[in-house]
Amino acid sequence: MSESTDSLPMHPAQLLSDVAALPSLPGVYRYFDADGAVLYVGKAINLKKRVASYFQKNHGGTRIGYMVSKIARLQTTVVRSEAEALLLENNLIKTLNPKYNILFRDDKSYPYLKITGVSSASNSSSRFARVAYYRGAVEKKHHYFGPYPSAWAVKEAILLMQKVFRLRTCEDTVFNNRSRPCLLYQIKRCSAPCVGHITESDYAQDVLNAERFLRGDAQQVLDALEARMMAHAQALRFELAAELRNQIAALSNVLHQQSVENVSDRDVDILAVKVQGGRACVNLAMVRGGRHLGDRAYFPVHVDDAAAVYCEEDEQGAAPLPSVEVQVLQAFLAQRYLQVPVPASLVLSEPVSGSLIKALSIQSGVKVSAVHQPREQRRLWLEMAQTNAGLQLARLLAEEGSQQARTRALVDALDLAPDDLDQLRIECFDISHTAGEATQASCVVYQRHRMQNAEYRRFSIENITPGDDYAAMRQVLLRRYGKLATSLLEAQTTGPTNGTGRLPDLVLVDGGQGQVSMARDVFEQLGLSLSLIVGVEKAEGRKVGLEELVFADGRDKVYLGKDSAALMLVAQIRDEAHRFAITGMRAKRARVRVDGGKLEEIPGIGPKRRAKLLQRFGGVRGVALAGIDDLATVEGVSRELAEEIYRALH
């Protein structure tokens, strides 16, 4: 046996047996460590050859060597083609979050502009389409335009629809109950279909023109408007002709402001990648309907580890390894367009694999073309995207340097001793309500020098005295750490198992001695260390920068100083917990109030009965909380109507 073979890491016999039994077919493989965590997901044209190469070479003390030494088992899936393997690989990467793959995290759906569908329903709001901002799954009965790079871009497009085509934006409940035009009609942002100031056919024509404009057929829209204007003028309908003239002028002004030289490019995505300091940025600029909608930056994780392990060599070993920039760009293309429609044209800063573009075409059902060295207008777009990628990456590196300094300052100030500073985990809790209504608790997480939005949690607090923040804090801490404490106790006797979980290195509670005492009682009950708990006590007058830290284990209060980097981090995490709790509380409260506001939509409930119900129960929340017998005591409300109200609100 050779020297390199002698130095190979030892692996379980079952693993090596599985590797030897692999077929010489295309497929996807997953590596797992002894704890069941996913290490790496890869694809191969020849599974047997690719996977065996990991175990036949001595990788030394490199990152790939460290990963290979941790492999305890593998799973494989055979597919029919390389394209199928590529799509499955990136589906699994997004689902499993392996440590040694480039991963783009995006916890938000993309925003769209929605135009509600037109139906033949008797409800007037259904006959007059509405334009709205939208996130979520699309439905066939509505028309969607996008996706847009940001909420701001969608709102700009909606404002354009109001200025040029005067489409309505109001909710159906508002639309159906108007008796006179709203302010938007007065400032010429709506044609007031709610009160019949425009016919159904004319409004439908405006909707059609708006959709054609959003698809990039602006010149056709202008020609059609000019023809209608001339027809009205010849028929001596000068007021209508003047309205169309103003609409043409507004549309022409918009086209002048948003003009591009190459109007043949209706839908294009421009992608530029920049790699520096172990981090990467992909800047995506979007052109839809011939209009440049803006751009958005994406920052992948695991770039260094993935670049060291990434193996995209030809099966015969003839093709060179792609650069890190190409690896990052290919990962972005594959992961983004799994869930978002891909435009027919892509402009890229790096050359990517032809098999990837082919797979995207198969996935979308549209022939996708990718240009690496564009000319004319496309070149200008790409240069702009490259500049923005560099600027965004420089900003990220500066922010991360600052955040790492803050993390280290907090560790030093509180004498924490994390095994790895990058893995320091802080969880912060806050309680929010309005006079006891819709009480919500929030838990936010700080790790790897940034807030981990995907791990945030909200807890609806129930069965407590309204406004009792101490009881709310007790409930949320028990719910958050109760099962975890039990699992950790069992692990001490039986050994750790998959999914045992880990405690944070620090638990912040927004509050002073009272909240800290409550947290101490919970942790004593659960058998957890009191040294984890720190309260953030507000200063007199709630002045920012003067907060003190309160400890559950008996240490004296600590004031870190107004300019302390540690206090800045504590305040950042505390403020994020407060923001997250407030938004949850407001959403919960709004759901209750909106449900109560549906009273007039219930058959048999008009303005008078609604007023009596609100007066009797003190508001919409009181109506929502009332029982059937209580509702039936209101004048004019029969038992049958009370049952109908109760069903509608519950």
| Average pLDDT, integer, range 126-143 | 82
Enter the tokens of residue 379: 């070149």
Distance (Å, rounded) from C-alpha 4 to C-alpha 2? 5
Name residues whose C-beta falls within 8 Å of residue 607's C-beta, 6 or more positions apart in sequence.
600
Q: pLDDT band for position 594 (50/70/90)? A: very low
| Average pLDDT, integer, range 274-278 | 86
Alpha-carbon torsion 462, 464, 466, 467, what sign?
negative
Question: For residues 352 and 326, is the Cβ–Cβ distance under 8 A?
Answer: yes
Length of the chain (residues): 650
Closest CA to 532 of 559, 562, 502: 502
Closest CA to 97 of 44, 43, 34, 38: 38
Q: What does the angle CA 145 – CA 146 – CA 147 come to, to the nearest 5 degrees?
A: 145
Question: Token match 């109030």: residue?
Answer: 593
- Mean pLDDT across the chain: 81
Amino acid identity, residue 287? V
In the chain, what are the domains?
A: 3-85 (3.40.1440.10), 112-257 (no CATH), 268-394 (3.30.420), 422-494+502-591 (3.30.420.340), 602-649 (1.10.150.20)
Range in 100-114, 564-578, 624-638 with the lowest mean pLDDT: 100-114
What's the confidence (pLDDT) of residue 535? 93
Question: For residues 157 and 148, is the Cβ–Cβ distance under 8 A?
Answer: yes
End-to-end CA, the chain: 74
Q: Determine if the pTM surpasses 0.85.
A: no
pLDDT tens sequence across 192-234: 999 988 888 889 888 888 888 887 776 777 777 777 788 777 7
Distance (Å, rounded) from C-alpha 379 to C-alpha 568? 43
Amino acid identity, residue 126? S
What's the confidence (pLDDT) of residue 123? 54
Query: 320: buried, middle or exposed (CB in 10 Å: 19+, 13-18, 0-12)?
Result: exposed
Question: For residues 541 and 522, is the Cβ–Cβ distance under 8 A?
Answer: no
Q: pLDDT band for position 1 (50/70/90)? A: very low
Distance (Å, rounded) from C-alpha 561 to C-alpha 557? 13
Enter the tokens of residue 294: 């803006």
Helix H, strand E, coil C: the string for 170-237 is CCHHHHCCCCCCCHHHHCCCCCCHHHCCCCHHHHHHHHHHHHHHHCCCHHHHHHHHHHHHHHHHHCCC
Distance (Å, rounded) from C-alpha 598 to C-alpha 646? 12
Residue 472 has pLDDT above 50, yes or no: yes
Question: For residues 185 and 192, is the Cβ–Cβ distance under 8 A?
Answer: yes
Residue 5 has pLDDT above 50, yes or no: no
Residue with the bigger pLDDT between 3 and 590: it is 590
pLDDT tens sequence across 116-132: 865 444 455 568 899 98
Q: pLDDT band for position 574 (50/70/90)? A: very high
What's the confidence (pLDDT) of residue 109? 66
pLDDT tens sequence across 146-169: 778 778 888 888 888 888 888 999
What's the confidence (pLDDT) of residue 120? 46
pLDDT tens sequence across 295-327: 888 888 888 777 666 653 444 444 567 888 998
Residues linked to residue 402 through DSSP beta bridges, in sequence order: none
Long-range Cβ contact pairs of 7-16 (< 8 A, separation 24 or more):
7/58, 8/55, 8/57, 8/58, 9/65, 9/68, 9/69, 11/55, 11/71, 11/72, 12/72, 12/73, 14/73, 15/71, 15/72, 15/73, 15/74, 16/55
Distance (Å, rounded) from C-alpha 192 to C-alpha 124? 12
Question: For residues 589 and 437, is the Cβ–Cβ distance under 8 A?
Answer: yes
Residue with the bigger pLDDT between 363 and 383: it is 383
pLDDT tens sequence across 231-271: 777 778 777 777 777 777 766 665 544 444 444 567 899 99
Neighbours of 594 (CB within 10 A): 11
Q: Is 536 helix (H, G, I), strand (E, B) or coil?
A: strand
Q: pLDDT band for position 29 (50/70/90)? A: very high
Range in 80-94, 379-393, 539-553 with the lowest mean pLDDT: 539-553
Pairing outcome for strands 426-434 and 369-371 = unpaired
| Average pLDDT, integer, range 52-59 | 79
Q: Is 506 helix (H, G, I), strand (E, B) or coil?
A: strand
Question: Token match 């002048």: residue?
Answer: 256
pLDDT tens sequence across 329-345: 998 998 888 777 788 89
Q: pLDDT band for position 16 (50/70/90)? A: confident
Distance (Å, rounded) from C-alpha 459 to C-alpha 442? 6
Residue with the bigger pLDDT between 95 and 291: it is 95
What's the confidence (pLDDT) of residue 68? 85
Residue 579 has pLDDT above 50, yes or no: yes
- Percent of the chain whose pLDDT exceeds 90: 18
Number of C-alpha atoms within 13 angstroms, CB side, residue 230?
5
DSSP structure class, residue 264: T
What are the Cα distances from residue 527, in Å, to 373, 487, 523?
63, 12, 6
Name residues whose C-beta falls within 8 Å of residue 223's C-beta, 6 or more positions apart in sequence.
none
What's the confidence (pLDDT) of residue 382? 92
Distance (Å, rounded) from C-alpha 377 to C-alpha 23? 48
Phi then psi for residue 392, to 5 deg, are -65, -40
- Percent of the chain whose pLDDT exceeds 70: 85
Closest CA to 333 of 57, 90, 628: 90
Residue with the bigger pLDDT between 170 and 437: it is 170
